[in-house]
Amino acid sequence: MNFLNIAQPKMNFYHSLTQQPIPLKNQSAQTLSDLCKSTIPQPFLNPLLPSPHLQTAWNVATPYDTPVTYKRHVFTATHDTYPGTFTVDFVVHTPSVPDPRLPHRTSYYTTTEFEAFTSQDTKPMLITLHGLSGGSDENYVKECLRLLTEDKTWEACVINSRGCAKSELSSPILYHSSATWDLHQVATFLTQRFPNRKLYGLGFSLGANVLTTYAGQQGNNCVLKGAVVCSNPWNFDICSIHLQRTWIGNMYSKAMLHKAEISMNQNIDFEKLEQAGDFNEFNRFIQCPTWDYPTEGAYYRDTASVNWLLKVQIPLLAIHAEDDPLACKEAIPYQEFESNSNTVLCTTKSGGHLGWYEITGSRWHARAAAAFLNKLALETTTERKEPRSLGSDLTDRD
């Protein structure tokens, strides 16, 4: 085993050969690919975690808790297709009394506090989406937020998928792989409460799929000024086949099961759900009847963000490990990245799924995402766009 190749995995960049220059504040300009190549740091991964499975499993095994503090607000959804409530956790810079009903270092905004939650400042604002059945308390999320917000340069929030991060389900409808409605509502809310802030996006795994889908749906009207997506599955159908090939893939599939309280949904066969042994069966018995898909394969193909990548019109950086055991290399849409001048794919030979643990104990993906977002937000010149009304550009499934 070559520990040097593990510790310093090779990076590759995939992008269009023709790109529009991005204007910088010093009056010069850079293409998106050159900006990424000159900004993203070299990874130095921990050689004691030499396999993608160890890198991935360390997400759960590590006891380290990144000190990020949140205040939570419960939003009422405004989209008719996706009713109910969802929660958003905002990074705050002062300690608060933790609420035992919520994840560590998280408390609720009072009504008075949230009504006063507005500003005319020009800080960049980050909207973050976590992975499947995760939440704002995941360390892979908090490490990125800490790097950006600890000196108060950035403000940030995390949209919790419904039923995640100890948020209550108020309707029988779960989130699905391309459910962009809550993201759209939060982006609209932030442009109203913070009229001078430019918005950026950061997504992980399933959240990366949602964020890419949203950027593609919005096209030239996207209010985000840039985005980073980490460990995006891209094509669920291919990833599903990959997971079923080996016994360890089946273990991952079972570990991703997320059975929530959805007893109000009369289309669900709960006897079959209780027997669900893997992720495919969960989607077959939950998502298919909920969203009217005939098979889980149809669900996977229709909600895959690869369908929207060519329509992305904002600077988008994708970070992916080629040995990812969940979002496999075969699912990466290399040709789409080479056909869209607004996107760049950065791959590493190793790193696992949302792993990239370095010798120092930090995460390379956090350093890479923070470096790119800082460059884009603080050193380039872009104009802010106002959002269109919620639902005006979204179909029932988009």
- Taking the CA of residue 355 as centre, how many other CA atoms within 13 Å lie in the half-sphere pointing to its CB? 32
Catalytic: 353? yes
Residues of the chain with CATH 3.40.50.1820: 3-235+311-379
Task: Catalytic residue, from 89, 137, 237, 324: name it.
Answer: 324
Cα 214-210-151 angle, rounded to 5 deg: 90
Catalytic: 365? no
Catalytic: 237? no
Q: Is 372 helix (H, G, I), strand (E, B) or coil?
A: helix
pLDDT in tens for each of the 398 residues of the chain?
Answer: 555 566 789 999 999 999 888 999 887 899 999 999 999 999 999 999 888 888 888 877 776 788 899 999 999 999 888 889 999 999 999 887 889 999 989 999 999 999 999 999 999 999 999 998 789 999 999 999 999 999 999 999 999 998 889 888 787 777 778 889 999 999 999 999 999 999 999 999 999 999 999 999 999 999 999 999 999 999 999 988 887 776 454 444 444 445 554 555 556 666 666 666 666 777 777 777 777 889 988 988 999 999 999 999 999 999 999 999 999 999 999 999 999 999 999 999 999 999 999 988 899 999 999 999 999 999 998 765 666 654 434 433 33
Q: Which helix (H) or strand (E) element contains residue 289? A: helix 288-291
pLDDT of residue 383: 67
pLDDT of residue 395: 36
Task: Catalytic residue, from 15, 353, 362, 398: name it.
Answer: 353
Q: CA 346 to CA 255: how far, in whole Å?
A: 27
Buried b or exposed e, range 78-106, using 16+ CB within 10 angstroms: bbeebebebbbbbbbeeeeeeeeebbebb
Residue of 211, 267, 268, 264 lying closest to 234 (CA atoms): 211
Task: Please provide the DSSP assignment of 136-195 as one string.
Answer: TT-HHHHHHHHHHHTTSS-EEEEEEPTT-TTPPP-SSPPP-TT--HHHHHHHHHHHHH-T
Q: Which fold has domain 3-235+311-379?
A: Rossmann fold (3.40.50)
pLDDT of residue 97: 84
Q: CA 135 to CA 159: how far, in whole Å?
A: 8
